[in-house]
Amino acid sequence: MLLTLADGPLRFSGLRQLIGSVTPKVLTSTLRTLERDGLVQRTVYAQVPVRVDYELTDIGHSLLGPMEILRKWSESHASKVLQARDEFDARDDLIRS
Amino acid sequence: MLLTLADGPLRFSGLRQLIGSVTPKVLTSTLRTLERDGLVQRTVYAQVPVRVDYELTDIGHSLLGPMEILRKWSESHASKVLQARDEFDARDDLIRS
The pLDDT tens digits for B17-55 are 998 888 999 999 999 999 999 999 999 999 998 899 999
A23-32 pLDDT tens trace: 999 999 999 9
> Which of B66, B77, B80 is nearest residue A73 as measured by Cβ atoms?
B66
Report residue A1's pLDDT band, with 50, 70 and 90 as the boundaries: confident
Inter-residue long-range contacts of B58-61, CB under 8 Å, 24+ positions, other chains counted: B59/A77, B59/A80, B59/A81, B59/A84, B60/B2, B60/B5, B60/B34
Distance in Å, alpha carbon of A56 to nearest chain B alpha carbon: 13
Asked whether the beta carbons of B57 and B38 are under 8 A apart, the reply is: yes
B37 touches chain A (CB under 8 A): yes
ipTM above 0.90, yes or no: no
Amino acid B81 reads: V
pTM of the predicted protein model: 0.80
pLDDT (0 to 100) of residue B95: 75
> Which of A69, A80, A89 is nearest residue B69 as measured by Cβ atoms?
A69
